Amino acid sequence: MKKQLNIETKRRTDKGELDKLELNKTSFKNFFKSKNSKDTMKIDLQGSIEGADRNIEEYRKLVNFLTCLHGVSVIDTFKQNKASEYKRMLRAFSVHEINNCHSMANMCHMILQMEEMKNN
């Protein structure tokens, strides 16, 4: 993606320079150049811009491909990890609930025994 951004920046710069040349504006780069060298520079800039366009499109395709590939391999693993984590948490909650019910039963049993001892 960094290379794509660098190419887009260079394309923008070349496009601006080409626009200046086509409008016959003088810049520091083309101030001392002759008409022939300016025409050659225009052709070079157009070729550079076309090449940058192709490279940008190829980088976009590559990024999309890698995103899809990454998504296919990672999403399934993520889902499996989350499902196993959910099951582990559910087991832990179940064990705590069983322990709480057991403690409650013991407490009720002790209360009933104390009542019987009082009544006797």
Please give, one letter per residue, the 3-state secondary structure of the chain. Answer: CHHHHHHHHHHHHHHHHHHHHHCCCCCCCCCCCCHHHHHHHHHHHHHHHHHHHHHHHHHHHHHHHHHHHHHHHHHHHHHHHHHHHHHHHHHHHHHHHHHHHHHHHHHHHHHHHHHHHHHC
pLDDT of 106: 96
Residues 6+ apart with CB under 8 A from 12: none
Tens of pLDDT, residue by residue over 59-114, are 999 999 988 888 888 888 889 999 999 999 999 999 999 999 999 999 999 999 99
Confidence band for 28, pLDDT divided at 50, 70 and 90: low
Split into its structural domains, the chain has a count of 1
pLDDT of 120: 75
Tens of pLDDT, residue by residue over 30-51, are 665 666 777 788 888 899 999 9
Give residue 90's identity as a one-letter amino acid code: L
70 is in which domain, residue-wise? 2-119
- Locus of tokens 């009542």: 115
